Amino acid sequence: MAIQAWRVKDRYYRLIGSRCRKCGAEYFPPVYRCRKCGSADIEDRQMPKEGSILTYTRLHEPLPGFEAQAPFYLAVVRLDNGARVLTQLVDSPEESVRTGARVRATVRRARVDGETGLIVYGYKFIVV
């Protein structure tokens, strides 16, 4: 159990996605089958930690459990390998959040599971 949890955490920290061995397309989060060519010949691939904002939205009503993080930006980030990630932007001044802005991945505590007390980590991005 513990080993499995560490493996999952490791994947999170290292931003491990997938790469299609047939056509070279890269994905995050990981996929089992390539969406471009349909091949199931997929390998693990570390994603670049930087990219740029493709599009974003500001949520005026924060999601339940995220009230302390308002204003809350959700963005689609295109990583430098072309993979797209839906993510939250953190620690980024309002005026810096714009389409095309360069961003960098960071691992943050996302929430604490109420029942187990387990701290859940997730990806966030910061405008650089």
Question: Smaller CB distance to Zn ion: residue 18 or 88?
Answer: 18
Confirm or reject binding of residue 20 to Zn ion (CB under 5 A): yes
Q: Kindly write down the DSSP assignment for every residue of 53-92, as one continuous string.
A: EEEEEEESSPPTT-GGG-SEEEEEEEETTS-EEEEEE-S-
CA atoms within 13 A on the CB side of 69: 20
Sign of the C-alpha dihedral computed for residues 8, 14, 17 and 23 taken in this order: negative
63 touches 11 (CB < 8 A): no
Binding-residue pattern over the window 37 to 76 for Zn ion, x denoting contact by CB under 5 A: x-x-------------------------------------
For residue 13, give the 3-state DSSP assignment: helix
Q: Which stretch binds Zn ion (CB under 5 A): 4-12, 19-27, 58-66, 120-128?
A: 19-27
One-letter amino acid of 50: E
Confirm or reject binding of residue 23 to Zn ion (CB under 5 A): yes
Question: Smaller CB distance to Zn ion: residue 8 or 23?
Answer: 23
Q: Which stretch binds Zn ion (CB under 5 A): 22-30, 66-74, 90-98, 106-114?
A: 22-30
**Contact set with Zn ion (CB under 5 A):** 20, 22-23, 25, 34, 36-37, 39
